[in-house]
Structure 1
Amino acid sequence: MLTSLWALPLVVQLLMLLLLLLGGLKVHLILTKGVCKSTNKLTGKTVIITGANTGIGKETAIDLAKRGARVILACRDLKKAADAKDDVIRESGQDNVHVRHLDLASLKSVREFASDILKNESRLDVLINNAGCVTIEKQLTEDGLEFQMQTNYFGHFLLTNLLLGLLKKSGPSRIINVTSKAHSLIKTFDLNNLNWELSHNNGSFYNSVYYYSKLSQILCTRHLAHLISQSGVTVNCLCPGAVNTQIFRNASSLFQTMLGVLIPVFFKNVKEGAQTSIYLAVAEDIAGITGQYFTDCKISQTSKLGQDLGLAKKLWEISETCVKLKPEERHY
């Protein structure tokens, strides 16, 4: 049998070897996927999930609703959010699910959303900063900030600060930032270039900004954990892994074609991708853990830059200026 295999044309042998390697990798990915095994209930708890109308945000909302939580879907597109709400109610079997408008690319919208929450909600137990985007063209928001950086990082930075007082009041509570392993692709971090004035190749995948935004989330997590260490609020971040969601809908057609080939082998489905977010929201064994980075429901290591506490402090201070955080909005 082995002799007959070697008798095949070289290209066939290489193809079979590639398939074997991919099959082995697929098995490895399946065996190492994290699964939230906690049966903890969230009855009487309130959860906010940004970008919960699709992907892992929606799947997280379904799971937490099943556990009895009051779930607030914070979304930019109210029509899609309303459809997602119906899905969450149907699949969770409970109707304590609500939609609130939030456009992270507008600091005004973030402040209006936070004001509404502070006015109408008596508690906030879990804040999941889940929303994210990938773009291929540079554009600025109405606030003069780079669109991708604001949607993925600056908007969540402001939102977290504005809701921190309510989180502390409701403690013990949790803040969860959904980031990415892609942060490790950044080897230098230019604090003077957070608004991304650097050019990029026309039509290229505008990836470096995405990497910056995800590293920024990790650094923000590190510093906030230090600032509120005695508050009863924990803050952790996570990489969900490669998940088959709509986040790359704005990427180039070539990149999307590549994904079409890779998804069956390397990507998780949304339910699998949501497991670490769910774990950080409900698991009792991490109740006192803060400032950490998780993958597959366990603590993992970030890049060296992601562990730089001095850099984290400087980024935090610059971010306060970028979002025009007022002294009365600082609850740490």
Structure 2
Amino acid sequence: MKTILITGSTDGIGKLTALKLAKEGHEIYLHGRSEDKLNTVINELKEASNNQNIKGFVADFSDLNAVKQMAEQIKNEVSSLDILINNAGIFKTASSKTKDGLDIRMAVNYLTPFILTENIISVLEKATEPRIVNLSSAAQSTVQKGVLTGDATVNASESYAQSKLALTMWSFNFAKQHPNITTIAVNPGSLLNTKMAKEAYGQHWSPAEKGVDILYDLAVSERHKNQTGTYFDNDRGSYSNAHPDAYDNDKIKLLLTLTESIISN
């Protein structure tokens, strides 16, 4: 049995993936922003899966300090972590900035998984075959320094696409730095039937299950274990090329240097 953490798992494909894995008896850690909602979902999944081994962490992912605190909590409470699915993400929001003045999509979709993952490497490395699945997107756009630092404002679609490319660039680099951890970026499918797609576009192309099935597969299937540092495009149903910037070492280096300076502030 695996110990699995899925961020952003109180609704959408995060929650449905958690349920599918819980039904197989894995130990599941959920994450949500609201404690009430998190507890409700934990109880709901326990009942639906017949698995009592479901716990959770609360953190507002637009607050980078809350993410650091959650990472500390994980280090204290989880002895080893087999699988981390960085699923939490936002598109449409009431406010485009965090309380610290960062672009909210850049913060939640990129800086948060970066901070969380980098801070719990010790927990992942205790597992025999650790695996990380990072939720990218078909929408990927060149990262602008100002959008990353919060000094420039672009529309929601553009900042979302930049945040997803930043995540993919970091994912590829992380895979190189940690060859013992299988790290895969994935576009789970465009316009799946989820809250995010409904809020953003008012429509969907594919059922949410399409995304759930690929996340489940990437997390536990043997056939993906030698695919570290790659990008799976579920619109095509195969491994594919991400945006060219994800293969540009100079751009990746610059991204990581800027990221470190934002985080250390």
With structure 1 as the length reference, what TM-score do the two structures score? 0.74
Any idea what the Cα deviations from partners look like across 1:129-175, whole Å, max 9, x if unmatched?
00111135653323332111101110111000001111112232011
Question: Is the contact made by 1:60 and 1:274 (CA closer than 8 Å) also made in structure 2?
Answer: yes
User: Structure 1: any 5+ residue segments left out of the alignment?
Assistant: 1-42, 326-332
CA distance in 1, matches of 2:10, 2:170: 25
- Which of 127, 138, 143 is 2:100 aligned to? 143
Residue in 2 aligned with 1:160?
Answer: 117
Partner SS for 2:139: helix
Q: Is structure 2 residue 19 aligned with structure 1 residue 96?
A: no
Counterpart code for 1:311:
K
Residue in 1 aligned with 2:145?
Answer: 191
Question: Is the contact made by 2:9 and 2:32 (CA closer than 8 Å) also made in structure 1?
Answer: yes
CA distance in 2, matches of 1:99, 1:71: 8
User: Structure 2: any 5+ residue segments left out of the alignment?
Assistant: none
Question: Is the contact made by 2:149 and 2:262 (CA closer than 8 Å) also made in structure 1?
Answer: no
CA distance in 2, matches of 1:71, 1:223: 27
Residue in 1 aligned with 2:167?
Answer: 217
Question: Is the contact made by 2:171 and 2:184 (CA closer than 8 Å) also made in structure 1?
Answer: yes
Q: Percent identity?
A: 30
Task: Please report the RMSD computed on the Cα atoms of aligned residues, expressed in angstroms.
Answer: 1.9
CA distance in 2, matches of 1:301, 1:226: 17
Counterpart code for 1:313:
K
- Stretch deviating more after TM superposition (286-295 or 207-216): 286-295
Counterpart code for 1:195:
T
With structure 2 as the length reference, what TM-score do the two structures score? 0.91
Rg (Cα) greater in structure: 1
Residue in 2 aligned with 1:75?
Answer: 32
CA distance in 1, matches of 2:22, 2:130: 17
Q: How many residue pairs are counted as aligned between the two chains?
A: 262
Question: Is the contact made by 1:114 and 1:159 (CA closer than 8 Å) also made in structure 2?
Answer: yes
CA distance in 2, matches of 1:310, 1:88: 44
Question: Is the contact made by 1:182 and 1:214 (CA closer than 8 Å) also made in structure 2?
Answer: yes
CA distance in 2, matches of 1:286, 1:67: 19
Question: Is the contact made by 1:276 and 1:295 (CA closer than 8 Å) also made in structure 2?
Answer: no
Counterpart code for 1:288:
N
Q: Is structure 2 residue 254 aligned with structure 1 residue 300?
A: no
Q: Is structure 2 residue 217 aligned with structure 1 residue 279?
A: yes
Correspondences of 1:1-332 after superposition (within 5 Å): 43=1, 45-135=2-92, 139-183=96-140, 186=141, 188-200=142-154, 206-229=156-179, 232-242=180-190, 243-248=192-197, 251=200, 255-256=201-202, 259=203, 263=204, 266=205, 268-296=206-234, 298-324=238-264
Question: Is the contact made by 2:189 and 2:210 (CA closer than 8 Å) also made in structure 1?
Answer: no
Question: Is the contact made by 1:138 and 1:146 (CA closer than 8 Å) also made in structure 2?
Answer: no
Question: Is the contact made by 2:61 and 2:108 (CA closer than 8 Å) also made in structure 1?
Answer: yes
Any idea what the Cα deviations from partners look like across 1:283-313, whole Å, max 9, x if unmatched?
1122222110012353122122232233122
Counterpart code for 1:70:
E
Select the structure with the greater relative contact order (CA < 8 A; seq sep ≥ 6). Answer: 1
Any idea what the Cα deviations from partners look like across 1:8-60, whole Å, max 9, x if unmatched?
xxxxxxxxxxxxxxxxxxxxxxxxxxxxxxxxxxx1x2111000000100011
Counterpart code for 2:173:
H
Indicate how the Cα distance of structure 1 residues 138 and 76 shifts in structure 2: closer, same or farther if over 3 A, else same.
closer
Partner SS for 1:182: coil
Runs of 4+ in 1 over 4 A off after TM superposition: 248-251
